[in-house]
Chain A
Amino acid sequence: MTTSPHTYADKAAEAAVRATPEPLARRVRALSDKAIAWLFIAPTIALLLAINIFPLFWAIYLSFTNYRANRPNAEVKNVGLGNYSRVLNDPDIWASMQTTAHFVFWTILLQTVIGFALAYLIDRKFRGHAFWTTLILIPMMLSPAVVGNFWRFLYEPQIGLFAYAVSFLTGIPTSEIQMLGSVSLAPWAIIIVDTWMWTPYVMLICLAGLRSIPDYIYEAAEVDRASNWRQFWSITVPMALPFIMLAVLFRGIENFKMFDMVNLLTGGGPGSTTEVASIALKRDAFEAWATGRSSAFAIVLFVAVFGLANIYVKALNRVKQR
Chain B
Amino acid sequence: MSSANTAHSVVEPSARSKRIAATLVILYAVITMIPLVWIFLTSIKSPPDSISYPPKILFTPSLEGYCNLFTTRTRQTPEYIASLPPPEGMCDAVTRERNMVIAGPSNFLPRFTNSLIIAFGSTFLAVGFGTLAAYGFSRFKVPLADDLLFFILSTRMMPPIAVAIPIYLMYRQLGLSDTALGMMLLYTAVNVSLAVWLLKGFIDEIPREYEEAAMIDGYSRLQAFRKVVLPQATTGIAATAIFCLIFAWNEYAFASLLTSGSAQTAPPFIPTIIGEGGQDWPAVAAGTTIFLVPILVFTILLRKQLLRGITFGAVRK
Contacts and interface: CB of A to CB of B under 8 A. Distances in A.
B170 A47 contact: no
B108 interface: no
B25 interface: yes
B212 A31 contact: no
Contact of A145 (B129, B185, B267, B279): B267
Contact of A260 (B19, B158, B253, B300): B253
A72 B271 CA distance: 31
Nearest to B186: A51
Interface residues of B, number: 112
B315 to A, nearest CB: 5
Given A125-B13, A149-B270, A47 B212 contact: no
B66 interface: no
A150 B284 contact: yes
Contacts of B270: 146, 149
A159 B161 contact: no
Interface stretch (B31-39, B79-87, B97-105): B31-39
B188 to A, nearest CB: 6
Contact of A54 (B152, B170, B268, B298): B170
Contacts of B281: 153
Nearest to B3: A125
Interface string B238-278: 00000000100111110011000000001110110000000
B163 to A, nearest CB: 7
B25 A31 contact: no
Given A154-B38, A250-B310, A277 B21 contact: no
Given A138-B36, A159-B51, A36 B158 contact: no
Interface residues of A, number: 112
A161 B45 CA distance: 14
Contact of B11 (A144, A151, A218, A256): A218
Interface string B188-222: 11001100100000000000100010011111111
A16 to B, nearest CB: 5
B109 interface: no
Given A150-B285, A154-B35, A257-B160, 19 more contacts: A6-B141, A9-B215, A19-B218, A40-B135, A47-B192, A55-B167, A58-B166, A125-B18, A135-B32, A143-B267, A146-B288, A149-B284, A152-B279, A164-B54, A199-B32, A205-B315, A250-B310, A260-B252, A298-B159
7 contacts: A12-B215, A19-B218, A37-B141, A40-B132, A55-B166, A161-B34, A243-B315
